[in-house]
Amino acid sequence: METTRIDVWLWSVRQCKTRSLATNECKAGHVRINDEPVKPASKVWVGDIVRYRVAGFDRILKVTGIITKRVSAPQARENYEDLTPARPRAFLPVAQRDPGSGRPTKKERRELDRLFGRNANFGRFES
């Protein structure tokens, strides 16, 4: 059966921009194979589940092919199945003023204070 190092595989399927970045991610504990923390030289096999922490979220990839050379994105996608759940919509749309509308009037400021839960007394937040 074919196998390769996890840092090489992450780099070759375009999950990391450079191989040294993939190595550092493994050393930092951001990569797991089958829920086990791994070192950069750990071997990855077809069928393994790889968890990779990116920007505060875990990417979950099932290994469907082993490659050691970096390939184009469409070819790279053939070597893993993305099992990552959809990211939750963490933030609601932010209330914004139109650019160039100037400083808020007293009435608008009070509405903003109510919206953001600030007390009109010295900008303190309500308890």
Residue 120 pLDDT > 70: no
Per residue in 63-82, pLDDT (tens digit) is 999 999 999 999 999 999 99
Distances in Å between the Cα of 58 and the Cα atoms of 47, 70, 86, 103 are: 18, 22, 11, 42
* Matching CATH number, 3-82, of 3.40.50.2300, 3.90.1150.10, 3.10.290.10, 3.30.70.360: 3.10.290.10
Beta pairing class for 49-54 and 80-82: unpaired
The residues pairing with 118 across neighbouring beta strands, listed in sequence order, are: 125
- Write down the domain spans for the chain: 3-82
By 3-state DSSP, what share of the chain in percent is helix, strand and coil, each rounded to 5? 25, 20, 55
Beta pairing class for 49-54 and 57-63: antiparallel
Per residue in 27-58, pLDDT (tens digit) is 999 999 999 999 999 999 999 999 999 877 88
- Calculate the CA dihedral of residues 13, 19, 25, 26 and round it to 10 degrees: 90
